[in-house]
């Protein structure tokens, strides 16, 4: 039986994580997006002859859509940016303003495993740094082949290659939350020999996003050649400090072609590949309305755009109004679970009705749309209802400020449920965190959150510990 490509729990985590990544630190995100577009733009230029006409294109796993904006504005293509997170796509408004962009892709909330596009409807599909978030990557290949027209090209890049030379001791975070010794090992090019998978995986894994770092170069080659008769590869092997530079040079001499094939097997890195679908190219009208390329995610019927800018299925009752320049074209069952709105088992601080579920101890709401939060002092409380009447798991999303780590006592968060201690968490690093624990069976829950130690930031006279942006109940799946 084929392995499940991605669970619903992982999809929930992706929706939350992409909101935070796009909106939690807007200025830093814009800098990262610009850096990514430099790399990705170079890959596209290297394969322009192979890619040919890219209109209409689709970027899957687009996050804020920054690379799609590059395709539309720098390369003159027209198409779609899709991601499972609607709020991250809405962040494109900020991109257009900050970067002075004229053209925008059509933004669609979609599941890469169930793309709301008609068969043979697209000239180009692109994916950057997202395939490894699926346990069964071949399922994505099959869906991409379905929507690509014959002769169309699937371009993916920044996908990790499993390295052989590693002790695989632990998962390492990104540079911003590395400890001093980790940063030194990173600068020397030695950290990669210790970590379990790619550097930075700890953050996504800790958030609940399961990553597939099992693919060696030969596995990628086998998968690509099984589905696409023509392809072009690019390998990017790390050279972080003398520790990797020396091994890379030796490995290149060992390779009988003097290529990066052996270095990539030993040191890992990332892969970019352009893959062409079999068959003679067919005509696709570049001026056709965008909705003619779509299909209903529930029944596969044709979608039409009404005067209120709502996409409606011509065969069933499915409808997707435009919301903040984004159409949510997830299947109805997934949309209900991933975008529950104001519900008594979810405190999403970005939704207006969340305050009715809060008890004492909360400071005023801060942040931007999609990632709003509240600070607490020594303790705060909430009340949630088990709307599913089934075993539940508590999930708390927050951010630990660097000031919380300046004392001699490590930061701790103790959770009490209905008067009984549930679990105490000790935090080791600054930045984004997720706390999870199984809940006792009950129809309702009064949840007390106690945090220590406290700190202050003069001239603000408030006493702080941590800020929280989501508290929810999830099924134990």
Nearest to 266 by CA among 160, 164, 162, 159: 164
User: Do 152 and 250 fall within a single domain?
Assistant: yes
On whether residue 393 sits in a domain, the answer given is yes
User: Do 364 and 267 fall within a single domain?
Assistant: no
Instruction: Decide: 60 and 329 in contact? Cβ < 8 Å.
Output: no
**Can you read off the two tokens belonging to residue 435?**
């706390």
User: Do 253 and 367 fall within a single domain?
Assistant: no
In whole angstroms, how far apart are CA 148 and each of 122, 430, 442? 5, 43, 49
Q: What is the DSSP string of 388-400?
A: T-S-EEEEEEEEE
Which residues, other chains included, contact 397 with Cβ-Cβ below 8 Å and sequence gap of 6+?
Answer: 16, 20, 432, 433, 434, 468, 469, 470, 471
Q: What pLDDT sits at residue 18?
A: 73
The better pLDDT of the pair 443, 370 is held by 443
CA 276 to chain centre: 26
Name the residue range of residue 394's domain. Answer: 346-475
User: Do 209 and 109 fall within a single domain?
Assistant: yes
Q: How many domains does the chain fold into?
A: 2
In whole angstroms, how far apart are CA 118 and each of 72, 122, 143, 201? 21, 8, 11, 34
Place of tokens 């002769």: 151
Across the beta sheet with 106-109, what order do the strands follow?
230-236, 269-276, 148-161, 122-128, 57-60, 79-83, 106-109, 326-328, 319-323, 310-313, 303-305
* Residue ending a domain, choose from 258, 276, 294: 276
The interaxial angle of helices 137-147 and 217-227, nearest 10 deg, is 30
Quick one: residue 353, left, alpha or beta (phi over 0 = left, psi -120 to 50 = alpha)?
Answer: alpha
101-156: pLDDT as tens digits: 999 999 999 999 999 999 999 999 999 999 999 999 999 999 999 999 999 999 99
Q: What pLDDT sits at residue 158?
A: 95
Evaluate if residue 295 carries a pLDDT over 90. Answer: yes
388-398: pLDDT as tens digits: 889 999 999 99
**What percent of the chain shows pLDDT beyond 70?**
97
* Residue ending a domain, choose from 251, 276, 301: 276
User: Do 87 and 173 fall within a single domain?
Assistant: yes
Q: What is the DSSP string of 300-365?
A: --BEEE-TTSEEEESSSS-EEEEETTEEE-S-HHHHHHH---SBTTEEETTSGGGGGGB-SSEEEE
* Residue ending a domain, choose from 230, 259, 276: 276
Q: What pLDDT sits at residue 163?
A: 94
Nearest to 382 by CA among 322, 266, 468, 261: 468
On whether residue 321 sits in a domain, the answer given is no
DSSP reduced 3-state for 235: strand
**Can you read off the two tokens belonging to residue 265?**
């097997």
User: Do 150 and 15 fall within a single domain?
Assistant: yes
On whether residue 335 sits in a domain, the answer given is no
On whether residue 299 sits in a domain, the answer given is no
163-210: pLDDT as tens digits: 999 999 999 888 888 889 999 999 999 999 999 988 888 878 877 888
Which residues, other chains included, contact 175 with Cβ-Cβ below 8 Å and sequence gap of 6+?
Answer: 183, 186
On whether residue 42 sits in a domain, the answer given is yes
- How far apart CA 75 and CA 96 sit, in angstroms, is 16
| Mean pLDDT value of segment 351-373 | 89
**Can you read off the two tokens belonging to residue 116?**
């709301």
On whether residue 369 sits in a domain, the answer given is yes
Instruction: Decide: 196 and 170 in contact? Cβ < 8 Å.
Output: yes
Q: What pLDDT sits at residue 432?
A: 82
**What percent of the chain shows pLDDT beyond 90?**
76
Least trusted range by pLDDT, from 4-18, 55-69, 262-276? 4-18
What confidence category does residue 20 fall into, taking pLDDT thresholds of 50, 70 and 90?
low
User: Do 159 and 271 fall within a single domain?
Assistant: yes
- Mean of per-residue pLDDT scores for the chain: 92
User: H-helix or E-strand containing 276?
Assistant: strand 269-276
- How far apart CA 338 and CA 322 sit, in angstroms, is 17
User: Do 57 and 192 fall within a single domain?
Assistant: yes
User: Do 231 and 355 fall within a single domain?
Assistant: no
Q: What pLDDT sits at residue 1?
A: 45
Nearest to 259 by CA among 275, 283, 278, 235: 235
Whichever domain contains 358, its CATH number is 2.60.120.260
Direct distance between the N- and C-terminal alpha carbons of the chain, in angstroms, rounded to an integer:
19
On whether residue 24 sits in a domain, the answer given is yes
Instruction: Decide: 148 and 122 in contact? Cβ < 8 Å.
Output: yes
| Mean pLDDT value of segment 227-243 | 95
User: Do 195 and 68 fall within a single domain?
Assistant: yes
Evaluate if residue 97 carries a pLDDT over 80. Answer: yes
Whichever domain contains 243, its CATH number is 3.40.50.150
User: Do 417 and 269 fall within a single domain?
Assistant: no
On whether residue 158 sits in a domain, the answer given is yes
User: Do 266 and 353 fall within a single domain?
Assistant: no
Instruction: Decide: 454 and 463 in contact? Cβ < 8 Å.
Output: yes
């Amino acid at each position: 039986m084929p392995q499940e490509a991605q669970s619903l729990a992982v999809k929930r985590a992706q929706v939350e994580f992409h909101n935070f990544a796009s909106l939690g630190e807007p200025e830093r995100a814009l800098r990262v997006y610009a850096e990514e577009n430099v790399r990705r733009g170079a890959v596209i230029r290297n394969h322009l002859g192979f890619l040919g006409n890219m209109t209409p294109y689709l970027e899957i796993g687009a996050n804020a859509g920054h690379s799609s904006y590059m395709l539309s504005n720098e390369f003159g293509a027209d198409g779609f940016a899709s991601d499972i997170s609607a709020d991250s796509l809405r962040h494109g408004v900020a991109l257009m303003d900050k970067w002075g962009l004229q053209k925008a892709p059509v933004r669609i909330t979609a599941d890469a495993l169930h793309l709301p596009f008609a068969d043979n409807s697209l000239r180009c599909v692109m994916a950057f740094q997202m395939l490894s978030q699926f346990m069964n990557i071949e399922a994505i290949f099959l869906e991409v082949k379905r929507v690509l027209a014959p002769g169309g090209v699937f371009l993916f890049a920044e996908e990790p290659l499993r390295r052989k030379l590693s002790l695989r001791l632990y998962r390492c975070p990104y540079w911003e939350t590395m400890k001093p010794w980790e940063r030194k090992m990173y600068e020397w090019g030695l950290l990669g020999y210790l970590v379990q998978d790619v550097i930075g995986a700890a953050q996504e894994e800790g958030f609940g996003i399961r990553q597939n770092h099992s693919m060696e170069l030969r596995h990628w080659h086998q998968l690509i050649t099984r589905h696409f008769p023509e392809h072009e590869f690019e390998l990017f092997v790390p050279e972080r400090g003398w520790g990797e530079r020396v091994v890379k040079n030796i490995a290149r001499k060992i390779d009988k072609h003097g290529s990066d094939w052996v270095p990539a097997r030993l040191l890992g890195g990332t892969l970019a590949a352009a893959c062409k679908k079999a068959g003679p190219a067919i005509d696709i009208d570049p001026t056709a309305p965008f909705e003619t390329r779509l299909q209903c995610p529930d029944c596969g019927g044709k979608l039409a755009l009404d005067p209120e800018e709502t996409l409606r299925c011509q065969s069933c009752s499915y409808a997707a109004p435009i919301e903040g320049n984004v159409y949510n074209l997830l299947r109805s069952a997934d949309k209900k679970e991933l975008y529950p709105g104001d519900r008594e088992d979810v405190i999403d601080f970005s939704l207006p009705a969340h305050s009715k579920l809060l008890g004492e101890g909360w400071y005023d709401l801060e942040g931007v749309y999609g990632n709003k939060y509240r600070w607490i002092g020594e303790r705060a409380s909430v009340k949630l209802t088990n709307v599913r009447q089934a075993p539940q798991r508590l999930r708390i999303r927050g951010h630990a400020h660097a000031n919380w780590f300046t004392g001699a006592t490590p930061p701790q968060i103790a959770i009490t449920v209905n008067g009984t201690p549930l679990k105490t968490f000790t935090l080791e690093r600054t930045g984004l965190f997720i706390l999870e624990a199984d809940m006792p069976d009950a129809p309702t829950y009064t949840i007390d959150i106690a945090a220590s130690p406290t700190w202050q930031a003069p001239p603000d006279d408030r006493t702080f510990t941590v800020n929280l942006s989501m508290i929810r109940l999830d099924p134990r799946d």
